[in-house]
Amino acid sequence: MDAVTLARLQFAFTIGFHFLFAPLSIGLSVMLVLAERRYYKSGLETDKRASAFWLKLFIATVAIGVATGVPMEFSFGANWSNYSRFVGDVFGFPLAAEGLLAFFLESTFAGVLIFARKRVSKGVYYASAWLVMIGAHLSALWILIANSWQQTPAGFKIVAGRARLDSVWAAIINHSTVGRVLHTVFASWTIGAFFAAAVCAYYILKGRHLDFAHRALPTALAIGLVSTVMMPLIGDVQARDIITYQPAKLAAIEGVFESGADQPANLIGWVDEGGKKVTGLKFPGGLSLLVGGNTSTPVTGLDEFPRRDWPPVQTVFQSYHLMVSLGMLLILVALIGIYYAWRRRLAYHRWYLYLLLPVAVLPWIATESGWITAEVGRQPWVVYGLMRTSQGASPSVSASQIALTLALFVLIYALLFVAYVWVMAGIIKKGPGRVPVAAEGAVAAQRAVASQGAGGIGEATDEGVGT
Amino acid sequence: MSLQLVWFGLIGLIMAIYAATDGYDLGVGVLYPFLARTDEERGVLRQSIGPVWDGNEVWLLVLGGALFGTFPLAYAIALSAFYLVIMLVLFGLILRAVSLEFRSHSSGGQARLWDAAFFVGSFLPALLFGVAVGNVVRGIKLGPGTGGQPGDFVGSFSSLLNPYALLVGLTGLAAFVSIGASWAAFKTEGALQERAARARSWAQAVLVVLLVLTTVYTALDSATKTQLSDGLSRAMGWVGVALLVAGLGYGRWAMVAKKDGEAFVGAMTTIFGLMAIGEAGLYPDLVRSLDAGAQAVTIHNASSSHLTLTVMLVFALVALPVVIAYQVYVQRIFSGRVGLEDVEY
């Protein structure tokens, strides 16, 4: 294999692995803040334990997220030095900002959360949880600002063969940035929500930590529902941007080989790149309808582009449709759950609780698929329309060096993955812990008192269900 | 004063802060298997850096981002030149980050494995940062560039493991161990503290010997025999020497007087002095060229546009004080020694 292919493999593998953990940590940071908010208001031991439980899961995830995130910052220069020369004037700033604004906030106050429960006041601790959550979200914001510029470069001029910043705002608040950030944040919340839902379902099925699980499950499902519903709405806005600025990507997404009106949308299908056709279940005129509001809207096809400028059509098509199908399925699962939660009957539908366990994996698959759609759909460009991926690699790094380090990454990351799953399973098996039996009965009474005192925040718990 | 010069100074400052802060927790990691004798003592050492190491490491990410944004050619050329060195540093940092977290969830043989990963993960960066710096100062083989840009690295990996770079690597390692021992002696109690205090004395002595060797080598070796090019860098060089001597002297006095906080300040000052000397010696280059024929990577031919440098400077001047303020605030929460009874994570 040549150096460029190996460098691409290495980048895809390392960022794809990192992208398993970064979204979960963002999603869990929300569960953490909600739990800590409850404790801040109630002061109950059970609520404190619930918060500590989410914190443990969050921190284990952040640890591997940080460990796999650090190499990304340096991989641009190491593996993609020509790319770095070309884009540095625009691209370095958001990376620096990510460190200054996001990582410092998250890491510094995560230190407070882990080690300073007894050293700071409840207020400072609660504020720290917020700052950690904000930091986690800001890191998504800044890295996606950088990524958006790769996708739809703006606010620059080409001077002496390098991109030169021309307008700060145009470069940073790119027209594709807002949609991308929201889409990714809601994807992260979806991952966190269904993960949390699965943990709660596991506890209810096992008859353990019921107070905790019955309280957290409806919350998780509500976050899951909002996030999964928001996703196609934002995606729709993004598609309009893609059709204008990345027409070849949109053509690959639905396998549009010939330009024209009345383009169908596929529910499922198979691309024959050689024969230039898509076999599948089609919704006639669907794509035209989606992008233009009526079926006569023309869509640019791949025929408008020389073959060497096509993205890998099959990969983009399949990853996109996998993402959409899974997204729809997740909306359905969340809807059913919310309905049962509203009727207070979650605990009686064990099939549903069993269903939630494997479903937790689906948001990850959907998110990685969406990411593959966005990034493989950008090919063959590393900066869309300006620099080809093959031109971005490091001339001074040999194929054997990249192969060696890729092998080491695979080895180390496999080890980390096993260790991570083992640690997470350990935390979940241990659970949020039990408040001593004598206190257990008093919890409900305490909570009633606390909720009166704090103006009724303790309502809507599932007390008694399934016990 | 040009923006390039301001950013050269600022990057140097960020690098110095990184070396002085992550330096002590890297140093603790290197000393970890030697200082701690029981599981409890290992717990104390980990806990002494637990709340702060991640925040310290972020300085490295800020350094990477800032270098990328302000001197993209230096970022591109240096990182691809030191490819395997950088990758080893990264593998070290990966192992270190997860070992600290996963260690707290394991026991027995698994815990030993994470202990080993913590040591290796600390040792690799602590040694290799200096090797990279040694090469940057000595110069590496750069090819001819195109369009007036400096060229890429054309030498071999083994050429990076030259005696000078290795000596600078060892010196850096000694500096990290020295500040790490100072931190451990400052943050722990009892027998562990006494061992750390002895290690602190030894590490400082070794550091002084290595500094003398490095200085002699730098003055004699044809590749490194450089003149401090103008008044400014000469002044900076003297400031660095003053900081270095003051840090070493103050640190030694504090050690003898058994003032652990002051000894740590001395070790920190020493590192700031070393970084200042390095920076003064390098100016105006960012990566030296070993051949006189090929142009070096300098703050002028590697920099970003005026607009980018300005925007990033404004951003940094607003954000840095805020970051430093809350980091100091959080450090104060964790002031005081970590006793055996405090280990909870």
Quick one: what percent of chain A has pLDDT higher than 90? 68
Partner residues linked to A388 by β-bridges: A381
B287: which DSSP letter? E
Locate A293 and state its tokens: 């509001």
Confidence bin at A261 (pLDDT 50/70/90): confident
Domain that holds residue A390: 3-453
Residue of B nearest to A169 (CA): B311
Task: Answer yes or no: are the C-beta atoms of A231 and A367 closer than 8 Å.
Answer: no
The number of residues making up chain A comes to 467
Instruction: Tell me: pLDDT of A37 over 60.
Output: yes
Which of helix, strand or coil describes residue A185?
A: helix
B335 phi and psi angles, rounded to 5 deg: -70, 160
With b for 16 or more beta-carbon neighbours within 10 A and e for fewer, the B154-188 pattern comes to: bbeeeebebebbebbbbbbbbbbbbbbbbbbbbbb
Q: Are the Cβ atoms of A93 and B315 closer than 8 angstroms?
A: yes
The DSSP H or E segment spanning A280 is strand A277-283
**Beta-carbon separation of B323 and A82 below 8 A:** no
CA torsion angle B65 B71 B77 B82 (round to 10) = -50
List of residues 6+ apart from B17 with CB closer than 8 A? B59
pLDDT single digits (tens) A170-209: 888 888 899 999 999 999 999 999 999 999 999 999 989 9
Q: Does B343 touch chain A (CB under 8 A)?
A: no
pLDDT of residue A338: 94
CA of A415 vs chain B CAs: smallest distance (Å): 10
The per-residue pLDDT for range B138-160, each reduced to its tens digit, is: 889 888 888 778 888 888 898 99
> Which pLDDT band, with edges at 50, 70 and 90, does A452 fall under?
very low
For chain B, how far is it from start to end, CA to CA, in angstroms? 49
Work out whether strand A277-283 and strand A265-272 pair parallel, antiparallel, or are unpaired.
Answer: antiparallel
Contacts of A201 (CB under 8 A, 6+ apart): A213, A217, A352, A353, A354, A356, A357
Under 8 Å CB-to-CB from A37, ≥6 apart: which residues?
A: A126, A129
Residue A466 lies in a domain: no
Chain A residues with beta carbon closer than 8 angstroms to that of B97: 63-64, 66-67, 70
The answer to whether the CB atoms of A114 and B345 lie below 8 A apart is: yes
Q: Which helix (H) or strand (E) holds A378?
A: none
Structure tokens, B221 = 């070796």
The span from the CA of A94 to the CA of B69, in Å, is: 8
Q: What is the mean pLDDT of residues A219-227?
A: 95
Helix (H, G, I), strand (E, B) or coil at A164: strand
pLDDT tens-digit map of A303-353: 999 999 999 999 999 999 999 999 999 999 999 999 998 988 888 889 999
A115 within domain boundaries = yes
Is B334's CB within 8 Å of A116's CB?
yes
Residue B66 domain-assigned?
yes
Q: Is residue B342 one of the residues assigned to a domain? A: no
Burial of A299 (0-12, 13-18, 19+ CB in 10 A): buried
Q: Are B80 and A396 in contact (CB under 8 A)?
A: yes
In a domain, A163, yes or no: yes
Indicate yes or no: CB of A70 within 8 angstroms of CB of B61: yes
* Boundaries of domain holding B54: 3-184+283-335
Q: Which of B50, B304, B326 sits opposite A115 (nearest CB)?
A: B50
pLDDT classification of B228: cutoffs 50, 70, 90: low
In this prediction, residue A321 carries a pLDDT of: 94
Residue A150 belongs to some domain of the structure: yes
Give the DSSP per-residue string, B87-153: HHHHHHHHHHHHHHHHHTT--HHHHHHHHHHHHHHHHHHHHHHHHHHHHHHH-B-B---STT----B
Is residue A461, in this structure, part of any structural domain at all? Answer: no
Measure CA A258 to chain center: 33
Q: Most B CBs within 10 Å: which of A62, A64, A100, as the mutation test of the B interface? A: A100
Is residue B206 over pLDDT 80? Answer: yes
Q: Tell me what ipTM this predicted complex has.
A: 0.91
Helix runs in A80-154, H state only:
81-97, 104-115, 122-151
Does some domain include residue A366? yes
Give the pLDDT confidence of A351-360 residue by residue, as tens digits: 999 999 999 9
Give residue A241's pLDDT.
86
Q: Look at residue B192 and tell me if it is in a domain.
A: no
Chain A closest-CA separation from residue B19 CA (Å): 16
Q: pLDDT at residue A462 above 80? A: no
Question: Rounded CA gap, A313 and A321, in Å?
Answer: 12
In a domain, residue A88? The reply is: yes
Count Cβ–Cβ pairs < 8 Å, chain A vs chain B.
Answer: 235
Which residues does chain A have within 8 Å of residue B125's beta carbon, measured at their own beta carbons? none
**Distance from chain centroid for Cα B260:** 21
How many Å from the N-terminal Cα to the C-terminal Cα in chain A?
Answer: 60
The partner residue sitting opposite A66, judged by closest CB among B54, B65, B315, is: B54
Residue B296 falls inside a structural domain: yes
B168 touches chain A (CB under 8 A): no
Asked if A111 and B65 come within 8 Å (Cβ–Cβ), the reply is no
Return the structure tokens found at A127.
Answer: 């504020």
Cα separation, B292 vs A428, whole angstroms: 62
Whether B124 is in a domain gets the answer yes
Nearest to A402 by CA among A65, A81, A68: A81
Residue B207 inside a domain? The answer is no
Residue of B nearest to A392 (CA): B76
Token representation of residue B40: 């409890």
Q: Closest-CA residue in chain A for B321?
A: A100
Whole-number Å distance between alpha carbons of A58 and A41: 22
Q: Measured between beta carbons, which residues in chain A are less than 8 angstroms from residue B73? A: 85, 88
Residues B325, B173: contact at Cβ < 8 Å?
no
* Cα separation, A186 vs A194, whole angstroms: 12
Q: CB B304 to CB A87 under 8 A?
A: no
